[in-house]
Amino acid sequence: MEEPKKRMLSGIQPSGDLHLGNYLGAIKNWSSRVDEYECFYFMADLHTITVRQEPAELRRRSLHQLAQYIACGLDPEKNVLFLQSMVPQHAQLAWVLNCYTMFGELSRMTQFKDKSAKHKDNINAGLFTYPALMAADILLYQADYVPVGEDQKQHVELTRDIATRFNSIYGDVFKVPEPLIAKTGARIYGLTTPGDKMSKSVPDGCVFLMDDPDTIARKFKRAVTDSDTENPVRYDRENKPGVANLMNIYSTLTGKTFEEIEAEFAGKGYGVFKPAVGEVVIDAMRPIREEAERLIKDKAYLEDVYRKGAEHASYVANKTLRKVYKKVGFYQI
């Protein structure tokens, strides 16, 4: 008898258009894992409203993100693709897990500190407790693995702590998940801010999946490097962060090692290197952008995908929720 596949789950907030960092750090790796894992990927729209959103724009971005997921190679026949808010079990389990998550644990989360500093006029309870919702996202599906960047590892560690705490009280309820961090492309930095990860909040240094070739080329020409002229293209994350970031992007898309890239551009300056990285990105983004544009026009198809995805996700999630409700003492219909 064939062993069941291990289960993998991840999601990205539709708080802005998907960008190169999302693609190389996450989505590109997701599409290659479908034969090995049972995969659940969602638009994390419940998480998005910790920051004020314009409703019509949030709906638009959620649908466009689904189209971009598919255009990036996530076949809805082989992956479960859904909108988080269409599966009510996420919010239901989140409340239960809030009651098993300690105040001190939440107060130590670095993302709460970062977002509180950026949104001082809206430091709401959701911003503080959203790691419990993230734990619910993962534990609902009894996920074995959660593909994350280094900056999200803390959330998976908290999820593991919550699962272990709950299991120690009620028995074997939750599978304790493992973070899965890609060896390359795990963190892509901003082209103009190579000390910070690529972010839509700095659009000049952020390459969006739907950017046209001219825009991409312009952004790479303006990418921050340094004044090194003797041996410019070499990997040194600490002293040459801008160059290291460009080499990481080039390596992830071409499969070349840093040593091979250094040899390819030996004796050549940034005037050659930066446009070359831009061209590789343009070639990789073109089919994604064109397919996403085609899919966005087919709203009936996208609606069918997210409805079927939500039905499948709800069926799986409800098994876990019923078990949790029984354990904590809730009556059920």
DSSP states of 205-226: G--BTT--HHHHHHHHHT----
Does 113 participate in catalysis according to the annotation? Answer: no
Tokens of 176: 């304790």
How do residues 37-90 score in pLDDT, each as one tens digit?
A: 999 999 999 999 998 999 999 999 999 999 999 999 999 999 999 999 999 999
Write down the domain spans for the chain: 6-186+299-328, 203-293
Annotated active-site residue in 6, 175, 200, 256? 200
CA distance 127 to 148: 20
Q: Which of 28, 115, 219, 274 is flagged as catalytic?
A: 115
- Which range has the top average pLDDT, 26-30, 108-112, 230-234, 271-275? 271-275
Report the chain's terminal Cα–Cα distance, integer Å.
35
pLDDT of residue 183: 62
Convert the pLDDT of each residue in 234-279 to its tens digit: 999 999 999 999 999 999 999 999 999 999 999 899 999 999 999 9
CB-based contacts of 256: which residues, under 8 Å, 6+ apart? 250, 264
Confidence of residue 123 (pLDDT cuts 50, 70, 90): confident
Does pLDDT of 184 surpass 70? Answer: no
> Contact 82/53 with Cβ under 8 angstroms?
no
Class of the CATH-defined domain 6-186+299-328: alpha beta
Task: Give CA angle at 322 (90, 129), nearest 5°.
Answer: 30
Tokens found for residue 191: 């082209």
Report the pLDDT value the prediction gives residue 281, as an integer from 0 to 100: 97
Higher pLDDT, 75 or 112: 75
| Four-residue CA torsion sign, 132, 134, 138, 140 | positive
Which residues, in sequence order, are CB contacts of 65 under 8 Å at separation 6+?
12, 14, 17, 18, 43
CA dihedral 27, 33, 34, 37 (to 10 degrees): -120
Compute the distance between CA of residue 247 and CA of residue 239 in angstroms, rounded to an integer.
Answer: 14
Residue range 203-293, CATH number: 1.10.240.10
pTM metric for this prediction:
0.89
* Residue 112 confidence (pLDDT) above 80: no
Question: 28, 197, 219, 274: which is the annotated catalytic residue?
Answer: 197
Is the Cβ–Cβ distance between 210 and 295 less than 8 Å? no
Q: In whole angstroms, what is the distance from residue 193 CA to residue 241 CA?
A: 9
200 is catalytic: yes
Is 115 catalytic? The answer is yes
Cα 91 to chain centroid, rounded: 20
pLDDT tens, position by position, 128-148: 999 999 999 999 999 999 987
